[in-house]
C-alpha cells in the first residue's frame, strides 16, 4: 500500500470511531425544526390504515421515503457495517448509499467493503458516492463508470464538503472547475446524479446552479446534526478552528428555500442533516422534502442494537409520522407538504 492509500483508509476508520464514540453534534445551532409546530386539525377525516408510504425512488419502488445516508467504505471495519446496513435496507425496501468511493479509485484492497452493499441489497436503489474535490481531478468519466459498476448503482451522489476539506490537514480544498466537471459527468453517465452536502447545507442559489447543469436530486444535508468540522477538529486534536464547529445552514432553512425551486425544476429534494427522530422527519416532509435521510443516528443504532434495531427504529418513525398525518389531516405525504406546519412564534 502506498502512503496516500494508507491515509484514505485510516481516515475512514477514524471517521467511524469518532462518529460512534465522540460527541460530534452541533453545539448551539439546531436543525431548526424546533422553530416549527404542526397545525392540529380537530376535524381530521384521515383513515389511519389507508396511509401508505410506498413510493418510487427514480425507477424503483420503495416502501418508505427514507434513505440510509452515504457513510462508509474503503476500510476493513466498513465491510461489516455496510453488510448489515444493506440487510436492513433490503428488508425495509429503502434506498441506501455507500460512503465515498475514493478509496476504490486508489486500489482494490477494500472492494468488498463497497460491493457488499449490492450483494446484500439486491433489489433496492443503491447510491454511489464521490467528493467534488475528487471529481474535478478526473480527466474522464471512466473511473466513475467503474465505481457505478462496482455496486450497480441506481444513482450517483457527488458530495460537496468545502469546510471538511479545509479543516483536514491532508484535505484538498480545491473545487475550481466543479460545475464544468459535473456537467460533463451528467452527460456521460446513464444514471441520475444527486448532489449533497455533508452537514453544512445547500442554499437555494447553489441548488439552482446544480439543477441548471442537469442534477436530478438535491440532498440538503444541513446543519444541526453531525458536525463534520467537529470530527475533523477532534481527529487533529486542534480547536483553533472552534468557530466552525457550528458552521452551516440549518436543515429546515435549506428545505424551505430549496422547495421553492420545485416550481421551475423537476428534481427530488432530500431532507437530511440531523434527522434524528420521527418528528424531525415529519417536519422535513412538511417543509418540502420528498425523502428524508439519516446517517449517524442509523450508525449508532446499528452499533447498539444491530440490524433489527435499525429496522425497528425506521418502522417506528413512520408509525409516528402516520399519527402526525392523522392529526394534521394529511392523507398522503403530498398533503403533509401543504400548509401543515407553522413557525412557533405565531403560536403565542
Ligand atoms: C461515519 C460517517 C461517514 C460519512 N461519510 C460520508 C461519505 O463518505 N460521503 C458522504 O457524502 N457523506 C458522508 N457522511 C455524511 C452523511 O451522509 C450526512 O450527510 C451527515 O452525517 C449529516 O447527517 P446526520 O446528521 O444524519 O449524520 C458520513 C457520515 C458519517 C456519520
Here the cell at position 31 is 436543525
Q: Point out the ligand 1 atom lying closest to the alpha carbon of residue 298.
A: 26
Question: Which numbered atom of ligand 1 lies nearest the CA of 99?
Answer: 8
Please report the pLDDT score of residue 3 as a whole number: 60
CA 265 / ligand 1 centre spacing (Å): 26
- What was the pLDDT predicted at 5? 58
Ligand 1 atom 2: residue of nearest CA:
71
pTM for this model (two decimals): 0.98
Atom 19 (ligand 1) nearest CA? 198
Which fold does the domain 3-347 belong to in CATH? TIM Barrel (3.20.20)
Which ligand 1 atom sits nearest the alpha carbon of residue 197? 19
Residues in contact with ligand 1 by the CB-under-6-Å rule are 15-16, 19, 69-72, 99-100, 129, 157, 159, 196, 198-199, 221, 225-226, 272-275, 294-297, 299
Predicted confidence at residue 4, as pLDDT, reads 58
183-197 tens-digit pLDDT:
999 999 999 999 999
Regions of the chain where pLDDT drops below 70: 1-5
pLDDT tens digits, 227-246:
999 999 999 998 788 999 99
Atom number, ligand 1, closest to the C-alpha of residue 274: 25
Q: Residue 1: what pLDDT?
A: 45
Which residue among 69, 80, 171, 314 is best mutated to probe the pocket of ligand 1, counting the most ligand atoms within 8 A of its Cβ?
Answer: 69
Q: Where are the domains of the chain?
A: 3-347
Q: Tell me how far the alpha carbon of residue 69 lies from the centroid of ligand 1, in angstroms.
A: 6
Amino acid at each position: 500500500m502506498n502512503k496516500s492509500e494508507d491515509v484514505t483508509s485510516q481516515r475512514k476508520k477514524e471517521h467511524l470511531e469518532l462518529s460512534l464514540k465522540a460527541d460530534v453534534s452541533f453545539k448551539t445551532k439546531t436543525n431548526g425544526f424546533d422553530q416549527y409546530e404542526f397545525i392540529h386539525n380537530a376535524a381530521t377525516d384521515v383513515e389511519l390504515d389507508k396511509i401508505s408510504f410506498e413510493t418510487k425512488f427514480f425507477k424503483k419502488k420503495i416502501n418508505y421515503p427514507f434513505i440510509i445516508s452515504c457513510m462508509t467504505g474503503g476500510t476493513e471495519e466498513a465491510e461489516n457495517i455496510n453488510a448489515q446496513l444493506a440487510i436492513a435496507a433490503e428488508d425495509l425496501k429503502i434506498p441506501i448509499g455507500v460512503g465515498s468511493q475514493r478509496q476504490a479509485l486508489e486500489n482494490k484492497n477494500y472492494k468488498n467493503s463497497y460491493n457488499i452493499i449490492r450483494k446484500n441489497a439486491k433489489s433496492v436503489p443503491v447510491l454511489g458516492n464521490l467528493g467534488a474535490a475528487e471529481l474535478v481531478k478526473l480527466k474522464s468519466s471512466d473511473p466513475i463508470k467503474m465505481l457505478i459498476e462496482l455496486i450497480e448503482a441506481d444513482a450517483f451522489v457527488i458530495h460537496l464538503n468545502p469546510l471538511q476539506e479545509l479543516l483536514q490537514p491532508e484535505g484538498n480544498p480545491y473545487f475550481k472547475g466543479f460545475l464544468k466537471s459535473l456537467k460533463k459527468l451528467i452527460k456521460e453517465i446513464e444514471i441520475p446524479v444527486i448532489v449533497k452536502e455533508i452537514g453544512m447545507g445547500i442554499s437555494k442559489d447553489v441548488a439552482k446552479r446544480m439543477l441548471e447543469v442537469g442534477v436530478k436530486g438535491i440532498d440538503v444535508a444541513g446543519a444541526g446534526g453531525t458536525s463534520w468540522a467537529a470530527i475533523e477538529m477532534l481527529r487533529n486534536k486542534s480547536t483553533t478552528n472552534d468557530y466552525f464547529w457550528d458552521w452551516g445552514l440549518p436543515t429546515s432553512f435549506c428545505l424551505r428555500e430549496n422547495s421553492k425551486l420545485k416550481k421551475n425544476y423537476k428534481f427530488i429534494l432530500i431532507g437530511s442533516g440531523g434527522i434524528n427522530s420521527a418528528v424531525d422527519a415529519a417536519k422535513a416532509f412538511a417543509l418540502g422534502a420528498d425523502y428524508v435521510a439519516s446517517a449517524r443516528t442509523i450508525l449508532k443504532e446499528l452499533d447498539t442494537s444491530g440490524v433489527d434495531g435499525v429496522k425497528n427504529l425506521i418502522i417506528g418513525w413512520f408509525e409516528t409520522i402516520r399519527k402526525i398525518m392523522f392529526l394534521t389531516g394529511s392523507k398522503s405525504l403530498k398533503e403533509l407538504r401543504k400548509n401543515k406546519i407553522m413557525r412557533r412564534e405565531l403560536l403565542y
